[in-house]
């Protein structure tokens, strides 16, 4: 039974690491950006920042996009999609546009732009839907459909 599983987050996902109990955004930012810290601890900071939410948490997550770890950057993009906060859009757009970025990160940035459901991301997703990297191209295609679906659901709710 799902409700008995303590590792389930409020985002209905089973996360690869439990969130850190630290609730201070600046110290979580230091942890997630620390290239010498263990990946498990950086992931714990990542999920804590996701759970806290808000502009400062997103800025802290985005600061760790300067990491060398494609795995961590992929996870950052993923949680930004879960947070469904338009504040993350410029950061995700920058990752998708960076042709030197790891394909795993670009693909997840595209999907997150779809998950946020803000139509402002339509342009950049259209721009890369024929990307030379098929994984990125397919992610943009899925994201465009997801974006339409998320934003139409929002319209229905507000009616």
Shortest distance in whole angstroms from residue 17 CB to Fe ion: 16
Shortest distance in whole angstroms from residue 77 CB to Fe ion: 8
Shortest distance in whole angstroms from residue 107 CB to Fe ion: 6
Q: What residues contact 156, with CB distance under 8 A and at least 6 apart?
A: none
Shortest distance in whole angstroms from residue 32 CB to Fe ion: 18
Phi, psi angle pair for 89, to nearest 5°: -55, -45
Q: Which is nearer to Fe ion, 49 or 76 (CB)?
A: 76
Interface residues toward Fe ion, by CB under 5 A: 108
Q: Which is nearer to Fe ion, 62 or 115 (CB)?
A: 115
Q: What residues contact 136, with CB distance under 8 A and at least 6 apart?
A: 96, 103, 106, 107, 110, 128
Cα radius of gyration (the chain) = 16
Contact 50, 79 (CB under 8 A): yes
Q: Which is nearer to Fe ion, 15 or 108 (CB)?
A: 108
Q: Which is nearer to Fe ion, 27 or 69 (CB)?
A: 69
Contact 89, 61 (CB under 8 A): no
Contact 121, 114 (CB under 8 A): yes
């Amino acid at each position: 039974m799902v409700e008995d599983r303590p590792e389930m987050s409020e985002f209905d996902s089973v996360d690869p690491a439990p969130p850190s109990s630290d609730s201070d955004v600046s110290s979580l930012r230091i942890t997630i950006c620390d290239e010498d810290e263990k990946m498990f601890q950086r992931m714990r900071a990542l999920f804590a920042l996701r759970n806290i939410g808000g502009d400062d948490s997103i800025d802290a997550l985005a600061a760790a996009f300067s990491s060398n770890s494609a795995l961590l950057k992929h996870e950052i993009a993923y949680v930004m999609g879960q947070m469904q906060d338009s504040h993350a859009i410029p950061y995700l757009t920058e990752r998708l546009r960076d042709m030197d970025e790891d394909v795993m990160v670009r693909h997840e940035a595209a999907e997150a732009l779809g998950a946020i459901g803000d139509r402002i991301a339509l342009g950049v997703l259209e721009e890369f839907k024929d990307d030379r990297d098929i994984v990125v191209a397919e992610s943009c295609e899925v994201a465009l459909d997801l974006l339409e679906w998320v934003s139409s659901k929002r319209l229905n709710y507000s009616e």
